[in-house]
Chain A
Amino acid sequence: MQTSFSEVIFLTILITTILLVLFGCIVISFVFHNQKKRYHHQWEILELQEAFNKTLLQSKLEIQEQTLDHIAKELHANIGHLASLININLSALMPQEPGEIRDNVIETKSLARQLMSELKALSASLNTDHIMHIGIIKALKNELNRLARIKKYEISFTQSGEEYRLPPEHQIILFRLCQEVFNNIVKYAHATKVTASVNYLPADFELEITDNGIGFDVELALNQSAEKASTGLLNIKKRAKLIHAETFFVSKPNAGTTVKLIIPRKNII
């Protein structure tokens, strides 16, 4: 009797222990399972948000390109036409005998021709079809020439490697990114030298723009760009991501700035 009673106690304790440990295991596995579900759910939300933001950005860029196209065509068609008319009227007004008036008219005609030339260049830089037609290298060189005409910058351009064709969308976005970088140089850098280099490497396509300006704190600028929700560095990064390009900003105060865009060859279809 005593032995069987001790067996009963032993079994009671053993079974109760097993049940309590099992309870613990159930609680723990429930918590892990719940966390896993929440994690997957959050991941799905993030992916959807990412996809939505990408679609939104693409739409914005499309609208932007359409607007720039429209402006380019208006500049070329209307304003360029008006500048030509100004030139024609000035030719009609020009006196035959040399004198002060003739000199003034000649100078005004020269300014009108300069205006037409600038309008043509600006229109070309805004016109998406034109950029896709001439290619990124020519478009980049044209943009650098426009910078050089301001007579504030010493420009240099280098190209290396065997050239291969980039898809038109890549070229447009790359060109717009370069324009943004050049705008930043003009607005903020106080530079005197701008260097652009394009490297067609077997593994990736590299585009680098360097200036000798006042530089900036990259991390601070990125954080401020995020906080103020302003366009700028984060915008460059986001648009670069659309064409699977990695963006690198290398800069220190008073040490110039380098912006590098790298597209892996496998992402260039």
Chain B
Amino acid sequence: MHKLFRYDFIYLIPLLLSAIFSLRSFGLKWPKPYRIFSIYLILTLCTEIFAIAWKWYLYKTVYWNYSKSNLWIYNSFHLPRILLFILFYYKMIDSIIIKRNILITGAVLLLFGIIDYLFIQPLHSMNNYTLIFTNIFCVILALLFFRQVLQEKKIIKLSGHPMTWISLGTLLYYAGSLPHFIFFNYLFENYKELALSLLNIHQALNIIMYTSYLIAFLCKPPSAK
């Protein structure tokens, strides 16, 4: 347990809190798409816990002895999480044309992700090709939401709207972590220490993202459309 008190696990605090508070969306007053996002957060939390547990204890038991690397966990759970994320934005965007494009792009992305996972990149290295494309797609989704806000006739109070905070966190994290993911595998093979030190930037962005998600679920429930 004391291992958890290292600085590189600080991001678990806002993630845990946001997952807990996201359960509020299952109350009657929250629009239904927020439940999808809540499931996404809970799945993310479970992925993180599983990945940490694997690295510390689960990789070697009486019954098995595998590599300590937990990248296969992140690779495996990335696609289901992204599917929930895309579904959430699909529900929240109003434009029918954009919704159709999200579906098509999401389907292509998922297909590519499966092919990348099974055939292109090894299991125990980060599937950064999938990550790069999903990062770009997530940035576009966040920008699409802000575009919708600017075009909407009704003026919404942004600071009190959960979707604003979700998109804010999404935009900052997925845009900021893009250079890191692009270079990660190359750096890990050739400059391991540098790759690991760059993880600090990733942790900082994680903290910003999950804190934004936490603030989103602390807001008053928006009215259902």
Where the two chains meet, the residues of A that have a C-beta atom closer than 8 Å to any C-beta of B are 6, 9-10, 12-14, 16-17, 20-21, 23-25, 27-28, 31-32, 34-35, 38-39, 42
Contact = CB atoms under 8 A, between A and B. Distances in A.
Given A21-B175, A24-B171, A34-B150, A13 B180 contact: yes
Nearest to B159: A32
16 contacts: A10-B194, A13-B179, A13-B180, A13-B183, A13-B201, A14-B201, A17-B177, A17-B179, A17-B201, A21-B176, A31-B149, A32-B159, A34-B150, A35-B150, A35-B155, A35-B156
Interface string B170-187: 011001111110010001
A17 B7 CA distance: 21
A39 B154 CA distance: 10
B3 to A, nearest CB: 27
Contact of A6 (B150, B156, B194): B194
A32 B187 contact: no
A20 B175 CA distance: 6
Q: Which of B146, B155, B177, B187 has the most CB of A within 10 A?
A: B155
B55 to A, nearest CB: 24
Per DSSP, chain A at the interface is: helix
B175 A42 contact: no
A27 B143 contact: yes
Interface string B138-156: 0000010010011000011
B178 A38 contact: no
B138 to A, nearest CB: 12
Contact of B194 (A9, A25, A28): A9
B9 interface: no
Contacts of B146: 27-28, 31
A13 B201 CA distance: 10
B: interface residue count bin: 20 to 34
B150 A24 contact: no
A23 B143 CA distance: 11
B158 A25 contact: no
Q: Which of B146, B178, B179 has the most CB of A within 10 A?
A: B179
A43 B198 CA distance: 47
Contacts of A21: 172, 175-176, 205
Per DSSP, chain B at the interface is: helix
B207 interface: no
A16 B168 CA distance: 19
A35 B163 CA distance: 15
Given A27-B171, A28-B146, A6 B183 contact: no
A35 B171 contact: no
Contacts of B155: 35, 38-39, 42
Contact of B179 (A6, A16, A24, A31): A16
Contact of B158 (A23, A24, A32, A42): A32
B191 interface: yes
A27 B146 CA distance: 8
Nearest to B171: A24
A2 to B, nearest CB: 8
Contact of B198 (A10, A20, A27, A42): A10
- In the A-B complex, the 3 residue pairs with the closest CB atoms: A16-B179, A20-B175, A21-B176
Contact of B176 (A9, A24, A31): A24
A18 to B, nearest CB: 8
A116 B2 CA distance: 100
A120 B35 CA distance: 71
B139 to A, nearest CB: 8
B158 A31 contact: yes
A231 B168 CA distance: 48
Contacts of B179: 12-13, 16-17, 20
A1 to B, nearest CB: 13
